[in-house]
Amino acid sequence: MNVDLPLTPDYDAWPIEADLETVSFTPRLVTVRWSDGRESRYHGIWLRENAADATTVNPATRERILDLSTLPGWPEIGDAEIDDSGALCVDFVPEDRRLRFHPGWLRAHDYDNAEDPEAPPVPVAAWQGGSGQGPDSLDASGLLDTEPASEAEEAILAPALESVLGKGLVRLRGLPTEPDSLEAIARRIGPVRPTNFGQLFDVKAKPDPDSNAYTSIALPPHVDLPTREYQPGLQMLHCLENSVEGGEAVMLDGFAVAEALRTRNPEAFATLPRVRWCYANTAKATDYVWYAPMIRLDERGELLEVRIADFLRGPLQADFEEVEPAFDALMTLQRMLREPEFAIRFTYRPGDLVIFDNRRLLHARDAFEGSSGHRWLQGCYMERDEIRSRYRMVQRARRQR
């Protein structure tokens, strides 16, 4: 069976894992049975909006041009059948239009039987640390020699994307140590999100520092830029030099800590998503302030985001009665963040690049002795969308091969 690609409203390939066998319909519903026995129902209005013809989608961009509310009435089904090519054909009234649907596409969008259409492409797995644990490490020494979007690039990037999606963290090794090479490396995944600290930022002890990160003091576990409405989804830290004593890197899965808090101290866990802390970075030339909870949950109580960074909090501005419970919960969390079993610890080696989810993982570092050598990381931010898009492109390429 062969069905032309323009039958699908996008650029993807939709392998046909089962054939359409029978179809029945009512004015508002099409019901199909597949060759493996599955039954799927599709609403007429859903089919009408998601057709792939030139009245629905601009053929040049594959973007929708149909505005459902301009149709002569609620799209109802006048007839439905499976054509010789195996596609579903539906006649719509009052529009008087026959539209065809690709069976592979229909099956992939079978909302009637879908478990969780929003399930992430790689399951999110919370992790604990403890001694001897380290990040997933991958040899990426050939990355910049590969063609962009080639199979060779994909072979290096795909497992890295998977680690970031699932564990929120990966370490690539063997990368160049030229200053600013992070920009070309990052571009292999997507565009960088610049901030007031620049396109790339230099993490080293600086005179007149505008952040604790730019000193040699220890940094407690934190996310970066919680002072923004949306703290960046990804952070990359690329080691160019590291010959100091101290300065060991520490990483924790904020989701693992939050889940442990939920178990051990339900009251503190209930407080943190409710209280909106003030996050503030009032520097000499900028003044960022945002109010948000330290832990955000979705409607089902699942973790969405952590926003933890003691050195970037301003004065709490909560209801009077909430202040002591808020600080009590905060201190419970602070104590847990010091427990060694949550943390992985490692020392940056020049050429290492750590990519991590800045809305889930917390990073910290020990103090270092500035006079004992040089420690120079370059960093940048990116949105998590880029990792997901890149990962979907890898899957699409595999489907099309």
Nearer to a copy of itself, 173 or 274 (CB): 274
Cα separation, 49 vs 70, whole angstroms: 12
Nearer to a copy of itself, 45 or 82 (CB): 45
* Helix 323-337 / helix 254-264 crossing angle, nearest 10 deg: 120
Nearer to a copy of itself, 136 or 154 (CB): 154
Give the nearest distance from C-beta 224 to a copy of itself in angstroms.
Answer: 13
Nearer to a copy of itself, 74 or 179 (CB): 74
For residue 151, the tally of other CB atoms under 10 A from its CB is: 13
Nearest to 193 by CA among 391, 388, 383: 383
The backbone torsions φ and ψ at residue 233, rounded to the nearest 5 degrees and listed phi first, read: -75, -30
Give the nearest distance from C-beta 324 to a copy of itself in angstroms.
Answer: 6
Nearer to a copy of itself, 135 or 203 (CB): 203
Nearer to a copy of itself, 305 or 352 (CB): 305
CB–CB of 58/52 below 8 Å?
A: no
Nearer to a copy of itself, 159 or 314 (CB): 314
Nearer to a copy of itself, 177 or 212 (CB): 212
Give the nearest distance from C-beta 173 to a copy of itself in angstroms.
Answer: 27
Nearer to a copy of itself, 84 or 320 (CB): 320
Nearest to 51 by CA among 97, 3, 14: 97
The backbone torsions φ and ψ at residue 358, rounded to the nearest 5 degrees and listed phi first, read: -80, 0
Nearest to 9 by CA among 75, 105, 107: 105
Cα separation, 56 vs 45, whole angstroms: 13
For residue 95, the tally of other CB atoms under 10 A from its CB is: 16
Give the nearest distance from C-beta 132 to a copy of itself in angstroms.
Answer: 26
Give the nearest distance from C-beta 142 to a copy of itself in angstroms.
Answer: 22
Cα separation, 4 vs 332, whole angstroms: 60
Residues 6 or more apart whose Cβ sits within 8 Å of residue 131:
340
CB–CB of 224/195 below 8 Å?
A: no
Give the nearest distance from C-beta 109 to a copy of itself in angstroms.
Answer: 5
Nearest to 162 by CA among 183, 133, 136, 187: 136
Nearest to 167 by CA among 225, 238, 233, 252: 252
Q: Measured in whole angstroms, how far is the alpha carbon of residue 235 from the centre of its chain? A: 12
* 383 exposure class (CB count in 10 Å sphere: 0-12, 13-18, 19+): middle
Nearer to a copy of itself, 185 or 352 (CB): 185
Give the nearest distance from C-beta 389 to a copy of itself in angstroms.
Answer: 5
Nearest to 168 by CA among 367, 391, 362, 5: 362
Give the nearest distance from C-beta 38 to a copy of itself in angstroms.
Answer: 14
Q: Measured in whole angstroms, how far is the alpha carbon of residue 313 from the centre of its chain? A: 25
CB–CB of 9/64 below 8 Å?
A: yes
Nearer to a copy of itself, 111 or 264 (CB): 111
Give the nearest distance from C-beta 126 to a copy of itself in angstroms.
Answer: 20
Give the nearest distance from C-beta 265 to a copy of itself in angstroms.
Answer: 13
H/E stretch holding 355 reads strand 353-357
Give the nearest distance from C-beta 362 to a copy of itself in angstroms.
Answer: 13
